């Protein structure tokens, strides 16, 4: 239901009274924080924040994140309506316009990575990333991924549209596969004093992708990992390039309106780093991993709207990781 207050705020936006709206946002957020804490403050002010982030000139919209309005008045990386307010802002203006205006480092980082997802190359136009994740998409990130589906499409008065990415997207190229016996699950993080099984951190990260996904790490191949997660030994499945799986993985890692696509991409890069056994991004190691991994995807009879079934094996380590889950949420946030 659109309330009188909603209509009033939209009228102010239509009239371009952004300074007034920013003042209203700051007062509303600070008052709600004082009554119920940050979570309540963020939730109550978010619809107004969306209006400002979407429609205001960048010089004013960026001030949503500026603490100069007093305690509790500034949005943070967790403030969201249909999506994070920083992502709304990042979809509206180039990095060149926003860079001089954004103060808080966490917001700057996420906005920069959102602009990279939207096609900007910021490798020489922004401060280096703290985890050395590239500020431009690698060729394998771009392959088969329509620019329009990488980040939510936000609507002026609120709400957003998001492409529904599933894996596998269809049954083309897949066929009946008799899975082997399930591979041996890696039981713990250590193989002896001071030693670490390569890539177990990746399993922990994969398991945190979303509430609807489960993950496993096994010694063996991708089908061995799939057998741990598939409902039966015979499935409809097949091998796909990692680039084909990448978009659905990023979306799964940014599940829900509180997370943006940049956070999904950063999470997936952490998984890739963990799979290489390094502590941070080493470009040649990531490139080597992408070139050698084998990816197996399959269908589940219960699949409806949104699902992801993927097992990835690294022949260099003898480990495979599986991720499987689904949800029946509608296509739009």
Alpha-carbon separation of residue 314 from 41, 80, 184 (angstroms): 45, 37, 15
User: 30 vs 20, 33, 249, 250, 318, CA distance in Å?
Assistant: 16, 5, 36, 33, 53
Mean per-residue pLDDT for 263-288? 94
Retrieve residue 300's tokens.
């589940």
User: Is 196 or 254 the better-scoring residue by pLDDT?
Assistant: 254
The answer to whether residue 60 scores a pLDDT higher than 90 is yes
pLDDT of residue 191: 37
pLDDT band at 4 (very low <50, low <70, confident <90, very high): low
Task: Find how far residue 259's CA is from the centre of its chain.
Answer: 6
- Residues 93, 113: contact at Cβ < 8 Å? no
Output the pLDDT for position 2: 43
pLDDT digits (tens, 9 = 90+) for 16-48: 999 999 999 999 999 999 999 999 999 999 999
Residue from 117, 66, 1, 226 nearest 216 by CA? 226
C-alpha distance from residue 43 to each of 10, 263, 269 (Å):
18, 20, 29
45's CB contacts (< 8 A; 6+ apart) are 25, 28, 29, 32, 75, 79
- Nearest of 122, 104, 101, 103 to residue 112 by alpha carbon: 122
Count of residues making up the chain: 333
The Cα–Cα gap between 278 and 140 comes to 20
By C-alpha distance, which of 88, 139, 87, 117 is closest to 250? 117
| Mean pLDDT calculated for residue range 130-135 | 96
Average pLDDT, whole number, for the chain?
90
64 neighbors 49 (Cβ within 8 angstroms):
yes
Averaged over 231-249, what is the pLDDT? 93
Is pLDDT of 59 > 50? yes
pLDDT reported for residue 332: 41
pLDDT for 309: 95
Residue with tokens 């008799």: 178
Q: Structure tokens of 240?
A: 């796909």
d(CA 99, CA 109): 10
Write down the pTM of the prediction.
0.91
Let me know how many helices (H) and strands (E) the chain has, helices first. 13, 9
Under 8 Å between Cβ of 242 and 138: no
Phi then psi for 116, rounded to 5 degrees? -65, -40
With a cut of 70, say whether residue 169 has pLDDT above it: yes
- Residue 194 scores a pLDDT above 60: no
Beta-strand ranges (E) seen in the chain are: 153-154, 160-161, 175-178, 184-185, 213-219, 234-240, 294-299, 306-314, 319-327
Helix (H, G, I), strand (E, B) or coil at 187: coil
315 and 288 in contact (C-beta within 8 Å)? Answer: no
Task: Say how far apart CA 209 and CA 324 lie, in whole Å.
Answer: 10
Q: 306-314 and 294-299 as β-strands: parallel, antiparallel, unpaired?
A: antiparallel
Give the Cα separation of 207 and 223 in Å (integer). 19
């Amino acid at each position: 239901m659109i309330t009188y207050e909603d209509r009033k705020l939209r009228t102010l936006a239509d009239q371009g009274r952004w300074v007034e709206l920013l003042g209203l946002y700051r007062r509303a957020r600070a008052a709600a924080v004082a009554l119920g804490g940050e979570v309540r403050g963020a939730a109550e002010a978010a619809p107004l924040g969306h209006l400002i982030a979407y429609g205001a000139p960048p010089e004013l919209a960026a001030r949503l994140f500026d603490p100069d309005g007093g305690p509790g008045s500034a949005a943070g990386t967790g403030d969201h309506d249909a999506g994070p307010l920083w992502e709304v802002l990042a979809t509206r203006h180039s990095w060149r316009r926003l860079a001089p205006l954004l103060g808080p480092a966490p917001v700057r980082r996420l906005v920069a990575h959102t602009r990279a997802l939207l096609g900007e190359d910021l490798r020489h136009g922004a401060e280096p990333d703290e985890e050395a994740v590239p500020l431009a998409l690698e060729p394998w990130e771009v392959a088969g991924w329509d620019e329009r589906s990488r980040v939510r499409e936000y609507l002026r008065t609120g709400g957003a549209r998001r492409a529904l990415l599933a894996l596998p997207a269809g049954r083309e190229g897949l066929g009946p596969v008799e899975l082997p016996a399930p591979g041996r699950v890696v039981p713990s993080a250590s193989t002896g004093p001071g030693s670490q099984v390569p890539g177990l951190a990746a399993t922990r990260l994969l398991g945190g992708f979303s509430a609807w996904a489960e993950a496993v790490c096994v010694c063996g191949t991708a089908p061995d990992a799939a057998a741990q997660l598939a409902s039966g030994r015979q499935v409809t499945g097949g091998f796909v390039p990692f680039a084909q799986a990448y978009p659905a993985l990023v979306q799964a890692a940014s599940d829900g309106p509180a997370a943006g696509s940049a956070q999904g991409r950063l999470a997936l890069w952490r998984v890739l780093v963990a799979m290489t056994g390094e502590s941070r991004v080493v470009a040649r190691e990531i490139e080597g991993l992408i070139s050698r991994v084998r990816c197996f995807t399959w269908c589940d009879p219960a699949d409806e709207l949104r699902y992801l079934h993927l097992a990835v094996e690294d022949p260099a380590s003898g480990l495979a990781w599986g991720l499987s889950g689904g949800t029946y949420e509608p296509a739009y946030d």
